Amino acid sequence: MSCRASFPVDAAGSPPASIAPAGHSPASIAIVTDAWHPQTNGVVRTLSTTCAVLRSWGHEVTVISPETYPSIPAPTYPEIRLALTAPGAVGRQLARIKPEAVHIATEGPLGFAARRYCVRRRVPFTTAYHTQFPDYLARRTGLPASVFWPYIRWFHRPAETIMVATETIRAQLRAQGLTRLTHWSRGVDLACFSPQAPPPPEYAGLAGPILLYVGRVAVEKNIEAFLAAPYPGTKVVVGDGPARAALQARFPDALFLGKRSGVELAGCYAGADVFVFPSRTDTFGLVMIEALACGTPVAAFPVAGPLDILTDRVGAMSEDLTRAIDAARYCDRKACATYGASYSWESATRQFLAGLVALEEEEAVSLGAALAF
């Protein structure tokens, strides 16, 4: 019995953009994630937007997140909540939902509990590799990334498919022995992010060029490399996080604007001369394509994410971030906007659907009957 591909696909191999073609019903999908609102990051934006598109197509999507459970702040990062679950709680929730497909988005406590349930009950599931978890933990603990790779291999190996956003990450996971990989890209809300977005009033009178960072203000984002780069102009940081106070004290000439969203965030991108992406631990970098959609070129290190997204027309990469910033200033802003607009959430969501494993009738019945570990 095959458990694959009961989602309809078109001739190009992707599920259609309609709710469901004749003869098929919309799917019931459970997404388990430790990253969810009120967190503000690329993983949350990706999942929440994907859920919205799926629902607009008629699919029934249930998100199992820390909102559902008591939680505690993550050590060194209180903005992230770690869910506290009783044994079997996630499994019982999945059993009540009776989904046709289970997707485990993160490797945290909820993802761990869902994986345990699915493996024990032989329920097929998919996972996604959103964050360079070994590098992330290495930055926070001082331990080498190699210490954490065994957990990543163990966590993802039973998945029917592992969704990855870029070819660089695909190659990295394949080198770790994880080979059941499928592509899941990202998108941009083009109704919001465009070159026409008005810049924030705080930009008025700033010494140019305006160099912008957007994202979590945390150690793993390597923001100090941006702020320490000896380049003239004004450096602007949009976002919040545990490293903000220390960075503000260390770099008093930088402008920290805190969290922005929607059109306000788009204006921050559109009014900047260069968007600087200093992270070495991201698998994609959603903020880069948002910046590009606003017509702003990107400067970055030549690492996973930038290597897969940037071209010479829309950005620059160098191990010397100052050189990358200088080169990015000469990029054509119209070309940046056109390139950024090519990233569609509808296309990305079709890729997500194509990667899912749909539970066949017998497996769905088994899932519904299994009320505990």
Domain assignment present for residue 92? The answer is yes
Say which amino acid occupies 121. Answer: R
Tell me what the mean pLDDT of segment 160-167 comes to. 95
Tell me what the mean pLDDT of segment 301-323 comes to. 97
Residue 202 vs residue 67, higher pLDDT: 202
pLDDT digits (tens, 9 = 90+) for 315-356: 999 999 999 999 999 999 999 999 999 999 999 999 999 999
Domain assignment present for residue 36? The answer is yes
The pLDDT score that the predictor gives to residue 70 is: 85
Domain assignment present for residue 16? The answer is no
pLDDT at 198 over 70: yes
Domain assignment present for residue 312? The answer is yes
The mean pLDDT value of the chain amounts to 88
Q: Whose CA is closest to 189, among 266, 283, 259?
A: 266
The pLDDT score that the predictor gives to residue 371 is: 39
Structurally, the chain folds into a number of domains equal to 2
pLDDT digits (tens, 9 = 90+) for 231-241: 999 999 999 99
pLDDT at 79 over 90: no
Tell me what the mean pLDDT of segment 9-19 comes to. 36
Query: 277 and 156 in one domain?
Result: no
Domain assignment present for residue 161? The answer is yes
Tell me what the mean pLDDT of segment 126-137 comes to. 87
pLDDT digits (tens, 9 = 90+) for 232-277: 999 999 999 999 999 999 999 999 999 999 999 999 999 999 999 9
Domain with residue 81: its CATH number is 3.40.50.2000
| pLDDT confidence band for 365 (50 / 70 / 90) | low
The pLDDT score that the predictor gives to residue 131 is: 81
| pLDDT confidence band for 364 (50 / 70 / 90) | low
The pLDDT score that the predictor gives to residue 366 is: 55
Query: 326 and 354 in one domain?
Result: no
Query: 359 and 280 in one domain?
Result: no
| pLDDT confidence band for 78 (50 / 70 / 90) | low
pLDDT at 165 over 90: yes
Residue 37 vs residue 287, higher pLDDT: 287
The pLDDT score that the predictor gives to residue 7 is: 36
Query: 180 and 78 in one domain?
Result: yes
Reported in sequence order, the residue ranges of the chain that DSSP labels E, i.e. its strands, are: 28-32, 60-64, 71-74, 77-83, 101-104, 126-128, 161-164, 181-183, 210-214, 234-238, 255-258, 274-277, 298-300, 315-317
Tell me what the mean pLDDT of segment 20-29 comes to. 60
Structural domain for 48, as ranges: 28-187+346-369
Q: Which two tokens stand for residue 256?
A: 């920290």
Tell me what the mean pLDDT of segment 127-141 comes to. 84
Domain assignment present for residue 13? The answer is no
The pLDDT score that the predictor gives to residue 254 is: 98
The pLDDT score that the predictor gives to residue 5 is: 34
Q: Which two tokens stand for residue 236?
A: 């602007």
Give every strand in the sheet of 315-317, ordered side by side.
255-258, 234-238, 210-214, 274-277, 298-300, 315-317
CA R_g for the chain: 21
Query: 163 and 243 in one domain?
Result: no
The pLDDT score that the predictor gives to residue 96 is: 93
Tell me what the mean pLDDT of segment 38-65 comes to. 93
Say which amino acid occupies 201. Answer: P
Q: Whose CA is closest to 231, among 288, 280, 276?
A: 276
Among the ranges given (12-26, 53-67, 96-110, 181-195), the one the predictor scored with the smallest mean pLDDT? 12-26
Determine whether 180 is exposed, middle or buried from the number of CB atoms within 10 Å of its CB (0-12, 13-18, 19+): middle
